[in-house]
Amino acid sequence: MVGDLTFVDNNGDVGSLETFGMFHMEFNDASGKELNIKGDVNMAIRADVIGKELENSTTVKLWSLNPSSGRWEYESTLERVSSSRKKRSQSQQSTDFFVGNTSITDRYWFNFDDDSLNFCFVKIKAYADSNLREPLEWLNTFEPSVISKDISESGMIDGRVLTGSSSSNFGIGSKDDCILTVCRPSNFHAYLFFEDQNGAFSASPRLGGSNQNVPGVTVKVKQLADTIEATRSRVIETEVEPLRSNGPLYQSDTECLSASDTDPHYAFYQNEISLFEYSVCENVMSCTENRHLAWFPLTGNMYRAWYIKVQVVPVSYVKEYTVRVVSKGGMHQDTMGKVFGIREDVTSSQSVCIEFKGSGNIIALSNFSELDVTVIEIYVQGTGCRVKTTADGLEQYRITPVPSNNNQTPPLISFETPLAFGDNFGLYEAENVDMETAKSIAKSRCECSKDDIRNCETPDSESGEAVVIECFS
């Protein structure tokens, strides 16, 4: 999205806009050379797109982007017109538009926006973990974002408004954990994100505060698509109907700022296990579908957790890299090529330990426990990255990397995961009746490059890696 959907009025105050569609115009000659076209033009948008099928006027206006300030500037109001057309063997059809006019000079970004909005506030808090027991002190590095949706009576999505920690409208704006947004007259529908300088926070599927079940408020954590291009952010989709002013939605900033920690609010939390993790199905007991893709099939009485150690050596000044490990089915007909899950983390002292799904039995579509071999793919966010060395024990399991259907860039390295583990492979494993305990032990063994410990007090970043990758930047 270009710009931050704000404008400056005649008094110099900053306001927010609701967009119904923006576009960029570019003119080229037959050889592809850019032309500097200037002149008067009309720009039209269908009446049903802005929810004005039966009305003769609208508060939506035409705006252009000032490339110097990054803000949108008013061009013209819109007038309703009708356009009729008749196709062969069809009756005449009429389409209604709202049309604005402008002069093209040096601006080629245009937008249909509404500056008359019903503003409200959402309360968003950050926590140390998923238990939501320890709220974090609000920092100026926190970046919450709210995309509110406006839906017409016909059911079409009319417009969206993006706001965040620095949004304001004529002197009233976001402050700390109270984020300015836009409500419809009778309800609120939006997507919420939260991140800081270290990356995205995970979204809680429940409200924070003492009352987690508020009538008329729904909270859903959006599941990510099982593709390599999946966004890192964890997203809350929420709907509030009817509107309320006692949490997590408020009609004024005063009400929102005076709310206590026990009042209802949307919650995000830091993920101590990994910067980002996504599973198609966490475990068999929690999934009604895709049980064959369960990260923990639990075919016995123990949870088995696996971690891989990856070292990324910078050639230039870059000291940290984001490493992504994708686990896919590799042998069984029910899982071959399908994603079990994705884990992603950032290197520290040039190495990182990341969870993957190990080979072993799965719960097949037949509901029987059957053997599958997991394929691991490793990606690094960097320039000129290449595999420098591979652990001796792991080398024989390497396979030819191939790009997925949704990503043209192949992984840096792919291999079938062996059932063996230890520093000779760069793979570390632990079993326990408790899932989190199994993960903690396996990660500790990976960090210390020792396969017989339970806790790692001094991580070893110089040995025991499965793969060493070199990047130029």
- Is there a contact between 171 and 109 (Cβ–Cβ < 8 Å)? no
3 state SS for 257-299: HHCCCCCCEEEEECCCCCCEEEECEEEHHHCCCCHHHEEECCC
Residue 162: both structure tokens together: 């993006």
**Predicted pLDDT of residue 271:** 64
DSSP strands (E only) in 115-244: 119-127, 143-151, 157-164, 168-169, 172-173, 178-182, 188-196, 199-200, 202-203, 217-222, 235-240
Nearest of 15, 240, 10, 200 to residue 117 by alpha carbon = 15
Residue 367: both structure tokens together: 């509901």
Nearest of 278, 287, 306, 327 to residue 432 by alpha carbon = 306
d(CA 10, CA 73): 11
Nearest of 150, 148, 147, 2 to residue 64 by alpha carbon = 2
CB under 8 A, 24+ apart: contacts of 455-464:
459/349, 461/311, 461/348, 461/349, 461/350, 461/351, 462/351, 463/423, 464/309, 464/423, 464/426
The helix/strand/coil state of 218 is strand
Residue 114: both structure tokens together: 């509404």
- Is there a contact between 159 and 295 (Cβ–Cβ < 8 Å)? no
Domain residue ranges in the chain: 6-114, 119-269, 276-471
User: What average pLDDT values come out for the chain (473 residues) when binned by 10 residues?
Assistant: 65 67 81 82 83 73 82 85 61 74 82 76 91 89 86 50 76 86 86 82 88 90 45 74 90 91 92 70 80 80 90 75 90 89 85 91 82 92 89 91 63 89 89 90 93 87 92 81
Q: Which residues contact 279 (CB under 8 A, 6 or more apart)?
A: 295, 340, 341
Residue 134: both structure tokens together: 């320890």
**Predicted pLDDT of residue 420:** 77
